[in-house]
Amino acid sequence: MQGRKNLRTQVAIIGSGPSGLLLGQLLTEAGVDNVILDRVSKNYILGRVRAGVLEEGTVGLLDEAKAGARLHAEGLPHDGFSLAFDGRDHRIDLHELTGRRVTVYGQTEVTRDLMQRREACGSLSIYDAADVAPHDVDGGSPFVTYTKDGIGHRIDCDFIAGCDGFHGTSRRALPEGAVRSFEKVYPFGWLGLLADVAPVSNELIYANHPRGFALCSMRSATRSRYYIQCPLDAKIEDWSDDRFWDELRRRLPAHHAEALTTAPSFEKSIAPLRSFVTEPMRFGRLFLVGDAAHIVPPTGAKGLNLAASDVHYLFGGLLEHYREGSDSGIDAYSQTALTRVWKAVRFSWWMTTMMHRFPDTSDFDQKIQEAELDYLTHSRAASMVLAENYVGLPF
């Protein structure tokens, strides 16, 4: 390869999604040098539509990264949400039950704010980097190689953070036998749509209906995000906007269906649902963070928030290493992060199981689901369990 260029940094971060950007920004603010690498462009990343609900802990970390100003100005604080079934709304009052709330603010905007802050600080991000690969993570001198514009590069570093999502390279670079994976694939997906229209309700609605699950969410007072459960083999071209709106209406209580206003969609996509965890989340000097280590179905709104709590633990450990010369935080990272990860995996699986129609559901299973929803919305103790997990377990 021609013209190889070498660079040195303290922490090389693979992936410029929310976990890579948040970790990078916290490190930069703390004076720890870092470089972020992503295989795609900045605009491609900003074109992705994903999460929408932030826990208070995530908001706190964005503040710590000095990227929270717009979130506080434009984010929508939500004190509760509705579980709709039996043709009615059953409100879960998050704030009354837990004293906490969540903030509705799109992942795209979180990403944009972190990118802007990074740029303002002058920290290095390299986009459109091909063939990114971590090396020598088990030794004392790890490095990352990549190609850009046909030229090979090498970044020497102290640590590598694998923040490159479920399809990234970091997890795959670990030697077979060093990690164990746990996986559950669900027999349905979510078909999601984004449209510039006022949300049907000012709080989120999670609907359990004989025709399948539906979710009414939003990005702002004028932008709505809706999802419906769909078969795994559903094809986007079979779903015109009209067909989507009709199906959504059928799955909502009548008063919401009547109030629903529609507009042409400007984004429509299908996401499969999966639970996945890799253990451990550290191998030598390589740390797996966020979706690179674990995936949850979106029903509990936990994916991005889990990425943020991983970052919190890893950042704390790295800071301890650089400031105090102690490795106890980074040594504890995998176990500490996984303890919280598994609780969110359990919650997301439980909410998914309770809210969706499974192809093989028996009459017995159906009765159990109905009893669970009734119990959940009529017992304060049960509502509290749901609320405590939804607003986010402490970290």
- Positions marked catalytic: 78, 206, 298, 302, 390
Nearer to ligand RFL among residue 37 and residue 252 (C-beta): 37
The torsion angles phi and psi of 349, rounded to 5 degrees, stand at -65, -45
Ramachandran bin of 314, using left for φ above 0, alpha for ψ from -120 to 50, beta for the remaining angles: alpha
CB neighbours of residue 356 within 10 Å: 20
Least separation in angstroms between CB 342 and ligand RFL: 16
Least separation in angstroms between CB 339 and ligand PHB: 22
Sign of the torsion formed by the C-alpha atoms of 324, 325, 328 and 330: positive
Buried b (16+ CB within 10 A) or exposed e, 195-232: bebbbbbebbbbbbbeebbbbbbbbbeebbbbbbbbee
Q: Which of 12, 53, 155, 355 binds ligand PHB (CB under 6 A)?
A: 53
- Our finding on whether 58 is near ligand PHB (CB under 6 A) is no
Least separation in angstroms between CB 367 and ligand RFL: 30
Tokens 């009459």 label which residue?
A: 363
Judged by beta carbon distances under 5 to 8 A according to partner kind, the member of ligand PHB, ligand RFL, none in contact with residue 225 is ligand PHB
Find the part of the chain contacting ligand PHB (CB under 6 A) among 50-58, 67-75, 125-133, 245-253: 50-58
Least separation in angstroms between CB 228 and ligand RFL: 12
Mask for 296-335, x = binds ligand PHB (CB under 6 A)? --xx-x----------------------------------
Q: What tokens were used for 391?
A: 């607003």
- Say which DSSP state 40 is in: S
Q: What tokens were used for 21?
A: 């950007």
Nearer to ligand RFL among residue 5 and residue 88 (C-beta): 5
CB neighbours of residue 130 within 10 Å: 11
Nearer to ligand PHB among residue 174 and residue 351 (C-beta): 351
How much is the CA Rg of the chain, to the nearest whole Å? Answer: 22
Least separation in angstroms between CB 82 and ligand PHB: 12
Nearer to ligand PHB among residue 153 and residue 225 (C-beta): 225
- Our finding on whether 25 is near ligand PHB (CB under 6 A) is no
- Our finding on whether 225 is near ligand PHB (CB under 6 A) is yes
CB neighbours of residue 275 within 10 Å: 19
CB neighbours of residue 187 within 10 Å: 13
Nearer to ligand RFL among residue 226 and residue 245 (C-beta): 226
- The residue whose Cβ lies closest to ligand PHB is 52
- Say which DSSP state 10 is in: S
| Of residues 8, 116, 114, 13, the one with CA closest to residue 54 | 114
- Our finding on whether 52 is near ligand PHB (CB under 6 A) is yes
Where do contacts with ligand RFL occur on this chain (CB under 6 A)?
A: 14-20, 37-40, 45, 50-53, 107, 132, 163-165, 167-169, 190, 192, 271, 290-291, 298, 301-305, 307
Q: Which residues pair with 134 in a beta bridge?
A: 144
> What residues line the site for ligand PHB (CB under 6 A)?
51-53, 204, 215, 217, 225, 298-299, 301
